[in-house]
């Protein structure tokens, strides 16, 4: 299908871009990589009067990594981050998650900021952001502000960004020492959105007990879902299969009604979540032991 008619603007500064968003408030859409927005236009599920393309705005395409943080400009292509040696070395979890997004062709176009602002509940980057307590930087007519990941994803395809705000960067903390990680998902075909997926991290004390855990599920709710009660079941326990299975059952049991669609029923997604949590925890614990 062809998109409806729209105007197109390619501002050269954030001030010019936010000005356009204010002038066309509610009727403008930011364009980044177009990998989600263009299909929505073509299917006429979005009908903005104007697209505000961020491509010509300088200083939105960068990766900066140190021991504590991997910070990424919003217009950085997903593939650029995936191929960054710095990211591979300092943030293997982020690197692994990026490889699960769509196909290399989509990652060559799709941006980190676009995926986060789009907030598809089955997408990997929003789940990683929630699991890692990332911070989002945005600018709007009122100036710049930062939003914690826990406050960013509101519901299906909806974030805390106002229609006049632009996401400019995201900061992902790196994992602490003796912390293992996992990101796993089930999709019908390689490159498809996940039917369900899990991001897990596990920290081990010197006696081998779990001293911290983080579990975020994706594809099973209107946003990425933190499984806080299941995390609580893990802390202080031995890192072993029976403990992981209990956490999986709790995480799945606590889900509000997961989506039923042509790809999978809610029950199937819930059961996938249960199984994937157990597997992700086992993988994360093995990495923590080896760390």
Ligand X SMILES: Cc1cc2nc3c(=O)[nH]c(=O)nc-3n(C[C@@H](O)[C@H](O)[C@H](O)COP(=O)(O)OP(=O)(O)OC[C@H]3O[C@@H](n4cnc5c(N)ncnc54)[C@H](O)[C@@H]3O)c2cc1C
CB 236, min distance to ligand X, A: 34
CB 88, min distance to ligand X, A: 19
For 197, how many CA atoms within 13 A lie in the half-sphere containing its CB? 30
Nearer CB in complex with ligand X: 16/254: 16
CB 204, min distance to ligand X, A: 30
Nearer CB in complex with ligand X: 118/287: 118
Q: Which residues bind ligand X (CB under 6 A)?
A: 29-37, 54, 74, 101-102, 106, 110-111, 113-115, 117-118, 120, 123-125, 161, 166-167, 191, 193
CB 48, min distance to ligand X, A: 8
Give the residue among 185, 188, 209 at the shortest CA–CA distance from 276: 185
Nearer CB in complex with ligand X: 160/235: 160
Nearer CB in complex with ligand X: 125/230: 125
Q: Which two tokens stand for residue 81?
A: 């981050």
Neighbours of 168 (CB within 10 A): 19
Neighbours of 250 (CB within 10 A): 20
Cα 228 to Cα 126, 205, 217, 232, 277: the distances in Å are 17, 20, 11, 6, 13
Dist CA 6 CA 22 (whole Å): 17
């Amino acid at each position: 299908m062809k998109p409806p008619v729209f105007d197109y603007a390619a501002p050269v500064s954030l001030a010019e871009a936010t000005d356009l968003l204010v002038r066309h408030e509610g009727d403008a859409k930011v364009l980044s990589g177009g990998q989600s927005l263009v299909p929505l236009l073509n299917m006429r599920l979005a009908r903005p009067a104007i697209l505000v393309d961020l491509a010509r705005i300088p200083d939105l395409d960068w990766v900066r990594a140190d021991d504590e943080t991997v910070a990424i400009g919003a217009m950085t292509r997903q593939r650029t981050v995936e191929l960054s040696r710095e990211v591979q070395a300092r943030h293997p979890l982020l690197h692994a998650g990026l490889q699960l997004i769509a196909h290399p062709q989509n990652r060559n176009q799709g941006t980190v900021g676009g995926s986060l602002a789009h907030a598809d509940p089955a997408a990997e980057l929003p789940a990683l952001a929630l699991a890692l307590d990332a911070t989002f930087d945005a600018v709007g007519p009122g100036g710049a502000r930062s939003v914690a990941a826990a406050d960013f994803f509101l519901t299906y395809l909806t974030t805390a960004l106002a229609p006049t705000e632009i996401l400019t960067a995201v900061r992902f903390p790196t994992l602490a020492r003796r912390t293992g990680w996992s990101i796993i998902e089930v999709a019908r075909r390689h490159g498809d959105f996940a039917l369900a997926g899990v991001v897990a991290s596990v920290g081990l004390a010197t006696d081998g007990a779990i001293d911290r855990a983080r579990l975020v599920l994706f594809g099973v709710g209107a946003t990425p879902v933190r499984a806080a009660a299941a995390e609580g079941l893990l802390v202080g326990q031995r890192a072993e299969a029976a403990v992981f299975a209990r956490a999986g059952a709790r995480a799945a049991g606590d889900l509000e009604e997961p989506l039923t669609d042509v790809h999978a029923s809610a029950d199937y997604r819930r059961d996938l979540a249960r199984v994937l949590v157990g597997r992700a925890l086992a993988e994360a614990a093995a990495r923590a032991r080896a760390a």
